[in-house]
Chains A and B, each alone.
Chain A
Amino acid sequence: AQSVTQLDSQVPVFEEAPVELRCNYSSSVSVYLFWYVQYPNQGLQLLLKYLSGSTLVKGINGFEAEFNKSQTSFHLRKPSVHISDTAEYFCAVRTFNQAGTALIFGKGTTLSVSS
């Protein structure tokens, strides 16, 4: 069965510093990969997705992620974070052999940006 592991539950970082949120997935078949962000008392907002093509994916708010098939990873990066990036980030996967649109999520990473 497929699974998603977010390697860090909490990532503290100073404003304007770079950040990487790590995500590894486990699947024996090809996958689609997603990163979502959740602000307090809100639902999930899609940051970016990898469906096919270029392994470097650019998303909203200056975030990008790189799909690495050999390492089964999909790490999220931002070169310079802002206070407003403080939120919880979820990596999610969907496999080619499944039916429908259901997502399997990691446990989430809380990004805390301080000045």
Chain B
Amino acid sequence: KAGVTQTPRYLIKTRGQQVTLSCSPISGHRSVSWYQQTPGQGLQFLFEYFSETQRNKGNFPGRFSGRQFSNSRSEMNVSTLELGDSALYLCASSPGWGINQPQHFGDGTRLSIL
């Protein structure tokens, strides 16, 4: 069974640009969550989608947005990029939406802002 697939693996952008990251969950998984990982702040929850609806959102500015498609694939978008957005962005999928569901992570997209 294929794992969580994130594309691209690496991305370099400049300040002010926007970026879209993609996540394909494990087949059959319907919940997708996104996390930002930085050396200073560690792993922080961005948002979570289930059945194409955002169910939960972390404490990030509105420049960070996402969506989920009918096939459960998800994208996250960051507009007006800032230097501080440089991070590893991790996507995780779960079979359903419930607090006892374990999350399975992809290898992440490393975003560097110049």
Contacts and interface: CB of A to CB of B under 8 A. Distances in A.
A96 interface: yes
Interface in B36-64: 42-45, 48, 50, 55-56, 58
Interface string A81-108: 0000000001000111011111111111
A103 B56 contact: no
Nearest to B3: A43
Contact of A43 (B56, B94, B101, B106): B106
A43 B108 contact: yes
B56 A46 contact: no
Interface residues of A, number: 26
B42 A108 contact: yes
Contact of A101 (B58, B94, B106): B94
Given A90-B43, A102-B48, A44 B90 contact: yes
A41 B101 CA distance: 25
B114 to A, nearest CB: 20
B102 A100 contact: no
Contacts of B104: 46
A49 B94 CA distance: 14
Contact of B101 (A36, A44, A95, A101): A101
Contacts of A96: 99
